[in-house]
């Protein structure tokens, strides 16, 4: 019986692979670095092919057991055509028919999806979003990303780039953002911006966000204020989404979300102070559950629900 899915989560640093059963259990997993293959797309694809074969061999799973392969990639994806349109942080990926390339190699149906959408699918079916018909899943890292489940399905938008919550403007005037705009949420709470702010506040270039978290746990006022200000920006950015989409649930994950004990109470407070009555009454904000596995588990969801049939 073909009841297994191979999930591949392509990130800027690592490529994670996992074989997932129909209960969302990861039977076997591995990881290879992205950077060494960065300069050549074909080398990267070949390295993934080799790792797929190695992983399945090691786990003693035949390709004939695979219902499908689901691949998440950090960029603009056309899931209908099975095409990678553009990856901003991995050179050489423009208009690549990745599904065909995989299907030719392994003869297993292959679907691709944006990486944050993949995480969203995983959290929706196997994580913090179980049973919900609508939710926003937000990832806090170097980038601030988002995925939307609306009326019981992944919402991709007209050109498959919906969910860019990191690029909701917080102010009419604001600092320039890498997206070409200005005043975007990401320019206030993205990892790099937070690290710069830590240097400004503490005068210590070596201090990490986990270190500031430790300081906050010890009651350090500067550290507590740092998280409060970060959470206030996050809350201010989410108010618009809450009023516009009336979601019952916001799931927040990604590296920076590990500070949820210091962030979430203020995020909730800001939303209670600013959002509309009905919208805020039903809203829950919770931490993502699946951590680094979300993308691989999302591949399971993508294949199982075959959310879009490729043309």
- Contact residues toward a copy of itself (CB under 8 A) are 76, 133-134, 146, 148, 150-151, 153, 155-165, 167-172, 179-183, 232-233, 236, 239-241, 243-248, 273-279, 281-282
Q: Among residues 211 and 307, whose Cβ is nearest to a copy of itself?
A: 307
Q: Among residues 110 and 232, whose Cβ is nearest to a copy of itself?
A: 232
Phi, psi angles (nearest 5°) of residue 108 = -125, 130
Alpha-carbon gap, residue 34 to 47, rounded angstroms: 9
Handedness of CA 95, 97, 99, 101 (dihedral sign): negative
Tokens at 58, concatenated: 């090691």
Smallest gap from Cβ 255 to a copy of itself, in A, equals 22
Q: Among residues 199 and 276, whose Cβ is nearest to a copy of itself?
A: 276
> 180 Cβ partners below 8 Å, 6+ apart?
none
Nearest by Cα to 118 from 184, 177, 73 = 73
Q: Among residues 12 and 169, whose Cβ is nearest to a copy of itself?
A: 169
Contact 202, 222 (CB under 8 A): yes
Tokens at 128, concatenated: 């913090």
Smallest gap from Cβ 172 to a copy of itself, in A, equals 5
Smallest gap from Cβ 96 to a copy of itself, in A, equals 16
> 212 Cβ partners below 8 Å, 6+ apart?
198, 202, 223, 226, 227
Smallest gap from Cβ 208 to a copy of itself, in A, equals 27
Smallest gap from Cβ 58 to a copy of itself, in A, equals 39
Q: Among residues 56 and 241, whose Cβ is nearest to a copy of itself?
A: 241
């Amino acid at each position: 019986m073909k009841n297994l899915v191979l999930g591949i989560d392509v990130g800027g640093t690592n490529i994670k692979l996992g074989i997932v059963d129909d209960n969302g259990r990861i039977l076997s997993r591995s990881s290879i670095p992205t950077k060494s293959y960065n300069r050549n797309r074909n080398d990267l694809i070949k390295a993934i092919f080799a790792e797929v074969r190695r992983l399945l061999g090691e786990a003693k799973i035949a390709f004939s057991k695979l219902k499908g392969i689901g691949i998440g990639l950090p960029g603009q994806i056309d899931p209908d055509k099975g095409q990678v349109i553009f990856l901003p942080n991995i050179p050489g990926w423009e208009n690549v028919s990745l599904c065909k390339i995989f299907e030719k190699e392994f003869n297993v149906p292959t679907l691709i999806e944006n990486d944050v959408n993949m995480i969203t699918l995983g959290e929706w079916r196997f994580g913090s979003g179980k049973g919900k018909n609508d939710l926003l899943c937000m990832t806090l890292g170097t980038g601030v990303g988002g995925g939307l489940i609306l009326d019981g399905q992944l919402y991709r938008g007209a050109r498959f780039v919906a969910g860019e919550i990191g690029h909701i403007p917080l102010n009419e005037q604001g600092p320039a953002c890498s997206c070409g705009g200005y005043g975007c949420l990401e320019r206030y709470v993205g990892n790099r911006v937070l690290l710069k702010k830590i240097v400004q506040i503490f005068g210590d270039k070596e201090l990490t966000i986990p270190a500031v978290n430790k300081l906050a746990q010890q009651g350090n006022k500067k550290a507590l204020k740092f998280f409060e200000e970060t959470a206030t920006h996050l809350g201010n950015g989410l108010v618009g989404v809450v009023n516009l989409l009336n979601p019952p649930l916001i799931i927040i994950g990604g590296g920076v979300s590990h500070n949820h004990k210091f962030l979430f109470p203020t995020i909730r407070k800001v939303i209670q102070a600013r959002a509309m009555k009905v919208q805020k009454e039903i809203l829950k904000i919770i931490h993502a559950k699946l951590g680094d596995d979300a993308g691989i588990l999302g591949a399971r969801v993508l294949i199982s629900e075959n959310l879009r049939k490729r043309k």
